[in-house]
Amino acid sequence: MARNILIFGANSAIAAEVARIYAERGDRLFLVGRNPTNLDALVTSLNTSVIGHIAADLDDLDGCAAHVRTAINVLGSIDIALIAHGLLGDQMQSEQDLEHTHQILQTNLLSAVALLIPLSNYFEQQGRGHLGVITSVAGERGRPRNYTYGAAKGGLTRYLQGIRSRLYHTDAWVHNLKLGPVDTPMTVGHNKHALFGKKTKVAQGIVKAMDRRRHVTYLPHIWGYVMAIVRCLPEPIFQRFGFLAGR
């Protein structure tokens, strides 16, 4: 049976791959993305699987609830919602420029929360469904190279924990999808190493995690083992390792 899928941040390389997987399954999609040209191209490629779409700036917090309501009205109901938008930002700039810091925090935390409020209320009332959010391994520990971005993702992780416990007595599942670095346009200019993920495999992992009702999933999976060690290192030891605590 076809399911109704809502994806925020559909322009991102990973979210677009997730949308393609669901389209191939025969599901019905409602897509929200920032760039209208890229969004139109994705909608065209997915053909009749897309029931509706909106080009929107999700940093406009006041509009987030309205986008959720529009998707519900068009789809009739939501079986799976995925929040996939984000902004890596420039760490060095964020240390000097409060406006840029605010931008990173708003895009990665506040705009997600603005969507999670109406979505969690919807799934609580419906009593079933899947609510997935892409966070990051950067939220596991503050590191000089990305601690502004990491602080936003770490805060989002805590928020998801609260929603998950709140919805515990329903059949609504909350999925925290903790991504390591992935080879996408978002990481252009970054030195690629063996732990970088591929967008297609990461997208497949996201869909599988929600199918299997996983609360927390690291993608690629090796990051679960890496971060188990990183989280446990005492700070004086952590700071001695330049590859962890350096710029």
- C-alpha torsion 83→105→220→209, nearest 10: -30
Q: Are 168 and 208 spatial neighbours (Cβ–Cβ below 8 Å)? A: no
* pLDDT tens per residue, range 121-130: 999 999 999 9
* Residue 226 pLDDT greater than 80, yes or no: yes
Output DSSP code: residue 58.
T
Residue range 221-235: mean pLDDT, rounded: 93
What percent of the chain stands above pLDDT 90? Answer: 87
* pLDDT tens per residue, range 58-76: 999 999 999 999 999 999 9
* Residue 185 pLDDT greater than 90, yes or no: no
Domain ranges of the chain: 4-245
* pLDDT tens per residue, range 16-47: 999 999 999 999 999 999 999 999 999 999 99
**Unique residue bearing structure tokens 């930002």:** 89
Output DSSP code: residue 179.
E
- Rg of the chain over Cα atoms, rounded to whole angstroms, equals 18
Mean pLDDT, the chain, whole residue set: 94
- What is 4-245's CATH number? 3.40.50.720
* pLDDT tens per residue, range 108-149: 999 999 999 999 999 999 999 999 999 999 999 999 999 999
* Residue 241 pLDDT greater than 90, yes or no: no
Q: Are 154 and 109 spatial neighbours (Cβ–Cβ below 8 Å)? A: no
The confidence band for 102, taking pLDDT boundaries of 50, 70 and 90, is: very high
**Unique residue bearing structure tokens 């191939």:** 24
78 vs 243 pLDDT, higher one = 78
Helix-helix angle 13-25:199-211, to 10 degrees: 50
Collect all residues with Cβ–Cβ distance below 8 Å to 190 and sequence separation of at least 6: 181
